[in-house]
Amino acid sequence: MTKQYINIGIAGLSIHDSDELKHKISNILPQHINIQWKTASDINLDCLFIHEHFFETEGIQRILNTKHFPWLKIAKDLERSGKVSNNTLYLPLQDTYELNRWVDHHILQSNQKPVEDIDIVPVMNSKLPANHTYTESYFKDMSKRDSNAKLHLSDDNGSIAVIKPSKNLVWLNPNHPIKHTDFSFNYDLASTNDLLKVSRKESVILQDWLWNLFWNSSDFYQIAPEDGHYKILFWPKPDDSINRKKIFQMSACFIQGAKMSKIAEQHDIPMLMIRRFIAANMAAGNLEKINVWDKHYTPPEKAEKTEQQNFIKSFFGKIRSKFGF
């Protein structure tokens, strides 16, 4: 697995506050990003968190004036706990929703270097239980749109979200900013208490959110078969900028119907990435099996066309030479 590294500095915080911040940021960032914790003076910093009492010091100001990277001051205010305002993050972090949004915008989107050809293949951290329930029918039942029911999604880390499949909407739990899940994932009818845990001020498109949740949950590639013929119904909208090119490449194939092993071979994509793609679409209700004889993706015959074009050019070249054209 090829990892992306990010260097984050923390300056002036107590051990307790520093550990709390590190824990929260580690939960927010995707699994494929390896965090390197640095001091404020490190020359390779990508981001810096500074206690407000140290912000005006000569050393910190020199760093911020000579290097251009995102930063936040850290202050303590119980009434503003978890808020991000005027480049200041307020502790304690009982609610990480605003920090999560800040990290998404200033680190994941702005600070990522474009990488064209990195294949990030999931590493299996936990094995799929033999008695698991994560089948196509399990996820199809979750995404059924013929009822007005609201479902509560959760895992061992707590409440994730409440979804309303009939409206294709999801309401997120701001206290569960982790963008992946594990084999403790489950769903049930939402109770009044479940609805109180989510923010209904903003809703997200369910299909897109589900796809990204399970794409980021790399262990779930194990629910996909080792091979098979499949077709997706809509194009995914990946948040993963590193693998976006490969995701769109796979989407262009499977939107027409394709065999997993053929796409892996024709486009030199690791089979585990193909399975990860199929699993994410299965979880998002965006997958259907097709028969061997159904219409499939056919790769362009570039080599054959090029050979024919070269032959024609050579043929007319000889004619021009012979007749003096």
281: tokens are 């679409």
Question: How confident is the model over 276-283, as a mean pLDDT?
Answer: 96
Residue 12 has pLDDT above 80, yes or no: yes
Highest mean pLDDT out of 141-150, 243-252, 312-321 = 243-252
Residue 199 domain flag: yes
Residue 222 lies in a domain: no
Residue 116 in any domain: the answer is no
pTM of the model: 0.58
Separation in Å, CA 107 to CA 86, 100, 281, 318? 17, 10, 27, 60
Residues 104 and 12 in one domain: yes
162 lies in which domain range?
Answer: 138-215
The DSSP line for 152-191 is: EEEETTEEEEEEEGGGTEEEE-TT-------TT-EEEEPP
**pLDDT, position 123:** 46
CATH of residue 105: 3.40.50.2300
The pLDDT value recorded for residue 51 is 92
Which of 16-25, 42-51, 73-82, 123-132 shows the lowest per-residue confidence on average (mean pLDDT)? 123-132
Both 67 and 144 in one domain: the answer is: no
Domain final residue, candidates 181, 215, 249: 215
Residue-wise pLDDT tens digits, 85-132? 888 999 988 788 888 888 887 877 654 444 334 444 444 457 888 889
Contacts of 217 (CB under 8 A, 6+ apart): 180, 181, 182, 185
- Identify whether 118 is part of a domain: no
91 and 154 both lie in a single domain: no
Say whether both 99 and 147 belong to one domain.
Answer: no
Tell me the C-alpha distance between 151 and 256, whole Å. Answer: 32
If one compares 297 and 137, the residue with the highest pLDDT of the two is 137
Residues 6+ positions from 308 with CB-CB distance below 8 Å: none
269-273 average pLDDT score:
88
Last residue of a domain, one of 198, 215, 232: 215
pLDDT of residue 116: 39
Mean pLDDT value across residues 281-293? 92
- Please check whether residues 87 and 19 belong to one and the same domain: yes
Of the given ranges (123-127, 186-190, 289-293), which has the lowest mean pLDDT? Answer: 123-127
Q: Which of 191, 215, 239 is the last residue of a domain?
A: 215
Written as six digits, the tokens of 121 are 């293949």
Residues 209 and 142 in one domain: yes
Lowest-confidence range among 41-45, 86-90, 154-158, 195-199? Answer: 41-45
Within-domain flag for 73: yes
In a domain, 318, yes or no: no
pLDDT over 70 percentage in the chain: 85
Structure confidence at residue 175 (pLDDT): 81
Q: Are residues 10 and 97 in the same domain?
A: yes
**Across the chain, what does the average pLDDT equal?**
83
For the ranges 16-20, 53-57, 77-81, 252-256, the maximum mean pLDDT occurs at: 252-256
Query: So what's the pLDDT on residue 306?
Result: 54
CA pair distance 49, 27, nearest whole angstrom: 17
Q: Is residue 42 part of a domain?
A: yes
**In the numeric block, which tokens belong to residue 257?**
């119907």
Q: Are residues 142 and 76 in the same domain?
A: no
**What total of structural domains would you count in the chain?**
2
Residue 117 pLDDT: 41
H helix or E strand, kind and range, residue 10: strand 4-11
- pLDDT tens string 189-210: 999 999 998 888 878 899 999 9
**Residue 305 forms part of a structural domain:** no
